[in-house]
Amino acid sequence: MDSLLPSNLYELSREEKNHLLQKLETQYKSIQEEKLHLDITRGKPSPEQLDLSLPMLSILDEKHYQSENHTDCRNYGVLDGLPEMKKLFGEILDIPHENIFVGGNSSLNLMYDVLVQAMLYGLPGGTKPWKDEKISFLCPVPGYDRHFAILEHLGIEMIPIRLNEDGPNMESVLSLVERNPSIKGIFCVPKYSNPTGITYSDEVVKAFCTMKPAAPDFRVFWDNAYAIHDIESPGERLLNVFAEAQQHHCTDRFYIFTSTSKISFAGGGVACIATGEKNLKALKKHYSIQTIGYDKLNQLRHVLFFKDRKTIENHMKKHAEILKPKKDIVVNTLQKYFSNLGVVQWTNPRGGYFVCLETLPGCASKVVTLAHEAGVKLTPAGSTHPYNKDPKDTTIRIAFSYPSTKDIQKAMEVVSLCIALASLQTMLGQK
Amino acid sequence: MDSLLPSNLYELSREEKNHLLQKLETQYKSIQEEKLHLDITRGKPSPEQLDLSLPMLSILDEKHYQSENHTDCRNYGVLDGLPEMKKLFGEILDIPHENIFVGGNSSLNLMYDVLVQAMLYGLPGGTKPWKDEKISFLCPVPGYDRHFAILEHLGIEMIPIRLNEDGPNMESVLSLVERNPSIKGIFCVPKYSNPTGITYSDEVVKAFCTMKPAAPDFRVFWDNAYAIHDIESPGERLLNVFAEAQQHHCTDRFYIFTSTSKISFAGGGVACIATGEKNLKALKKHYSIQTIGYDKLNQLRHVLFFKDRKTIENHMKKHAEILKPKKDIVVNTLQKYFSNLGVVQWTNPRGGYFVCLETLPGCASKVVTLAHEAGVKLTPAGSTHPYNKDPKDTTIRIAFSYPSTKDIQKAMEVVSLCIALASLQTMLGQK
């Protein structure tokens, strides 16, 4: 396809638009006949990316199973992580290793654990368990569906907050957090935000450290999932929220999460929490009841393979080399078909795993359905918003990492056609 | 030392006892001067046992990271475990693989998760979350301290039930469970029980399947941690509670837990839950919110290394060869010093990780303190009972697996001396 919609789209007569619609529908039907099976729903690394860490699989052997301080990593013990794994996460996040708790393979599970601890026992600074109060969380939107799913599951009310180019609308955040003690937290993906790809500005990061929350146990869930996940060079720089919080004596306001899921293996990585001393003490108390300890062998694999920040940065450059052509296909295809047309806007992030589309109001779910019926799976419309409710029905998340460049190209051709179709239908007042 | 207490102990005059006490105290002091550092507190595998699974560490490599059905185990996906890992656990437990949920490295964490799910959401069959009721659990004693710790942490009241040679006193269990709807569960270690080493009789297992609990959401937490952990040959046989429950249509009454922690690596194993369909469905719903999935690479390591029940059984024989001499030292030393004296009784289990001592009333904590002050760490007295309260202060758990045979021998000499001393002190009315 060379073009889908003409540059004088808005000047076309109703008849001309109908004619164009018929033409696009014919194209759509012929694509349906190709019986495609393409999937751009989830931010999964591709096999080529996973291959980058293959040597890690056999890095342990009959001689290598002890940590630096001679802990036998095969046995029980060491609840909060190997010292060298803490150090490695400390280097990734630029946070003192003393403030790090190393967990299992899933940072999402750590977030869930902390929220469960808050529900059942309360958090340091609070007066009672969250289960005994009616509480709510702020949710910058568009945001990450799995954060919303946890909050919804726990019965925590979600209040959407507009996510701008530089982070959440802090005017709204501050006016709510500083006045309403029932607001107990906010979920943030501060770098290469899922799905819009933006990075919080220094001002926004600082505002989180200087705010005066009405709730004494207010917490920021700082999901730094893409801390070192640049695609373009140079990547974006996120102000170090922990260092900033230290200056304002509020490190316990933050739970900072990250993992190696998109550095090493998505199912077999290591995750951590960085936080202040009071939180850490409470975390360790709860975790000492919940488990005997996490898999230290996998921690050892990671430290032996990744060694230090420099080695990881070089490793991440190889990820970027694989990801950049895919992201470029997404952006260039949209550019080719929709430049200056105004029917869709898209992001061009410098890192992370997603391109985010903004369609005409009421169009996003149409596009997703059309694409689905043409064999291209997209993340369900609405999933970027709490309770799956995108009020204007405009947001679509494109996950470009997993498919091959060829499949991404094909998928984007289909998605573009679907956008053109849905936009035209909407302009013609069709449901 | 050849002997500690004479066979005519009970016929000695007070003066003779005092004289003997002085002699033992002199021996004790000379042991204190040795400044020992021995530890028989925890049921940890020894390095030699962990060595048995060393080849597993390098069993995955650049060519081996896919499951049988070509799932890339390095990536996200497959919440409830690889099919072949379910099959392997199915063979270990003799339970259909369809009824198995595979988790992370810790079965304790799975028990905690299920209890948290019960607290926050309730369980299938129940009418409300457990957090909204005043509830209690039955705890066979002596039992496992970490079970008690979870219940205490969650604020679930613990009711001790006498653990007999053939399992919990079922008369008490039935009369409580069938009459009192606030009793929501019971924790069992049905084979080679921690710490007494007993295995539940067929009658006891059957009684759990035929009981009519007053609470519709009553659950049995069946911690089958030592399912295939024989030391003596033949080992003991535990009736298959799942098969029995199938006959009585009550598989959802049971959460059956096991793990490879004491088969492969104590910190780096794989754990699972086996249960009925309704529970499984609820489990998967909750876990799908809590995590994206567990470490499938480690599951793959286990299935490639252990293959099937037969291979695991042979592997467990090698564990037994390492464990038996250690258990024999514990039992033989006690036999040598205390046979027919009546001041202490001990178990001689055919499997598992513990020997359990029963001292004179009021003596257990004395023995632990004396041993500690002579450089031998024992599990704290009372930890085998809910709230750390052993009402008669008689139970001591000996964990023989970790130290070398030489260290076990030395530790048991010290412990024996401490038993003799404490018994004599008690007989003389000393605190």
- pLDDT at res. B390: 97
Whether chain A has a CB inside 8 Å of the CB on B79: the answer is no
- pLDDT tens digit sequence for B336-374: 999 999 999 999 999 999 999 999 999 999 999 999 999
Q: Report, as an integer, the average pLDDT of A216-242.
A: 98
Would you give the distance in Å from CA A50 to the centre of its chain? Answer: 19
Complete domains list, chain A, with CATH: 9-49+313-427 (3.90.1150.10), 66-307 (3.40.640.10)
Angle in degrees, CA A247, A251, A256, rounded to 5: 125
Q: Which of B53, B102, B289, B401 to mutate to test the interface with A (most CBs of A within 10 A)?
A: B289
How many other C-beta atoms are found inside a 10 Å radius of the C-beta of residue A320? 17
For B226, the enclosing helix (H) or strand (E) is none
Contact A200, A238 (CB under 8 A): yes
The alpha-carbon radius of gyration of chain B (Å, integer) is 23
- pLDDT at res. B430: 84
The A residues from 155 to 214 touching B (CB cutoff 8 Å) are none
Q: Which two tokens stand for residue B262?
A: 């004491």
Neighboring chain A residues of B293 at a CB cutoff of 8 Å: 106, 267
By three-state DSSP, how is residue B10 classified? helix
Strands (DSSP E) contained in B12-104 are 38-40, 100-102
- pLDDT at res. A232: 98
- pLDDT tens digit sequence for B122-163: 999 999 999 999 999 999 999 999 999 999 999 999 999 999
Return the percentage of chain B with pLDDT > 70, whole number: 100
Residues with Cβ within 8 Å of A335's Cβ and at least 6 positions away in sequence, in order, are none
By three-state DSSP, how is residue B346 classified? strand
One-letter amino acid for residue B429 of the chain: G
Neighboring chain B residues of A399 at a CB cutoff of 8 Å: none
- pLDDT tens digit sequence for A38-71: 999 989 999 999 999 999 999 999 999 999 999 9
Would you give the distance in Å from CA A141 to the centre of its chain? Answer: 12
> Does residue A422 have a pLDDT over 80?
yes
DSSP code at position A191: S
- pLDDT at res. A141: 98
One-letter amino acid for residue B199 of the chain: T
What is the DSSP annotation of A308-358?
SHHHHHHHHHHHHHHHHHHHHHHHHHHHHHHTTTSSEEE---SBSSEEEEE
> Does residue B1 have a pLDDT over 80?
no
CB contact under 8 A, B296 and A61: no
By three-state DSSP, how is residue A345 classified? strand
In 3D space, the residue among B89, B135, B380, B23 whose CA is nearest the CA of residue B259 turns out to be B89
CB contact under 8 A, B62 and A42: no
By three-state DSSP, how is residue A93 classified? helix
Q: Report, as an integer, the average pLDDT of A154-174.
A: 98
In 3D space, the residue among A333, A412, A330, A327 whose CA is nearest the CA of residue A376 turns out to be A412
Average pLDDT, whole number, for chain A?
Answer: 97
Task: Considering only the beta carbons, identify the residue of B61, B268, B296 that sits closest to A296.
Answer: B268
d(CA A370, CA A367): 5
> Does residue A391 have a pLDDT over 90?
yes
Strands (DSSP E) contained in B17-133 are 38-40, 100-102
CB contact under 8 A, A73 and B119: no
* Helix-helix angle A107-121:B107-121, to 10 degrees: 50
The A residues from 295 to 314 touching B (CB cutoff 8 Å) are 295-298
Average pLDDT, whole number, for chain B?
Answer: 97
- pLDDT tens digit sequence for B148-159: 999 999 999 999
Whether chain A has a CB inside 8 Å of the CB on B294: the answer is yes
> Does residue B101 have a pLDDT over 80?
yes
The B residues from 334 to 393 touching A (CB cutoff 8 Å) are none
- pLDDT at res. A146: 97
Q: Report, as an integer, the average pLDDT of A255-278.
A: 98
d(CA B336, CA B334): 5
Q: Which two tokens stand for residue B328?
A: 């024999």
Q: Which two tokens stand for residue B54?
A: 């060393």
In 3D space, the residue among B325, B387, B303, B322 whose CA is nearest the CA of residue B97 turns out to be B303
CB contact under 8 A, A268 and B297: yes
The B residues from 85 to 144 touching A (CB cutoff 8 Å) are 104-106, 108-109, 112, 116, 119-120, 131
CA distances from B406 to B51, B52, B332, B334, B411 (A): 19, 21, 14, 16, 9
Q: Which two tokens stand for residue B254?
A: 């049971």
- pLDDT at res. A430: 84
One-letter amino acid for residue B220 of the chain: V
Q: Report, as an integer, the average pLDDT of A341-347.
A: 96
d(CA A180, CA A417): 46
Neighboring chain B residues of A63 at a CB cutoff of 8 Å: none
Residues with Cβ within 8 Å of B171's Cβ and at least 6 positions away in sequence, in order, are none
> Does residue B99 have a pLDDT over 90?
yes
d(CA B159, CA B172): 11
Q: How far B108 CA sits from the closest chain A CA (Å)? A: 6
CA distances from A393 to A96, A161, A357, A422, B215 (A): 43, 16, 11, 12, 46
- pLDDT at res. B2: 79
One-letter amino acid for residue B144 of the chain: Y
CA distances from A209 to A94, A202, A204, A206, A246 (A): 17, 11, 9, 5, 9
Task: Considering only the beta carbons, identify the residue of A61, A62, A268 that sits closest to B295.
Answer: A268
Contact A350, A232 (CB under 8 A): yes
CB contact under 8 A, A44 and B265: no
CB contact under 8 A, A268 and B104: no
> Does residue A431 have a pLDDT over 80?
no
Task: Considering only the beta carbons, identify the residue of B65, B112, B150 that sits closest to A57.
Answer: B65
- pLDDT tens digit sequence for B59-95: 999 999 999 999 999 999 999 999 999 999 999 999 9
One-letter amino acid for residue B259 of the chain: S
> Does residue B320 have a pLDDT over 80?
yes
What is the DSSP annotation of B363-406?
-HHHHHHHHHHTTEEEPPTTTTSGGG--TT--EEEEE-SSS-HH
- pLDDT at res. B326: 98
Contact A49, A68 (CB under 8 A): no
Return the percentage of chain B with pLDDT > 90, whole number: 98
d(CA A36, CA A30): 11
Neighboring chain B residues of A48 at a CB cutoff of 8 Å: none
CB contact under 8 A, B295 and A131: no
d(CA B296, CA B86): 12
For A292, the enclosing helix (H) or strand (E) is none
The B residues from 38 to 57 touching A (CB cutoff 8 Å) are 42, 44-45, 47, 50, 53-55, 57
The A residues from 208 to 267 touching B (CB cutoff 8 Å) are 261, 265-267
Neighboring chain B residues of A149 at a CB cutoff of 8 Å: 289
d(CA B65, CA B67): 7
* ipTM for the complex shown: 0.97
CB contact under 8 A, A267 and B153: no
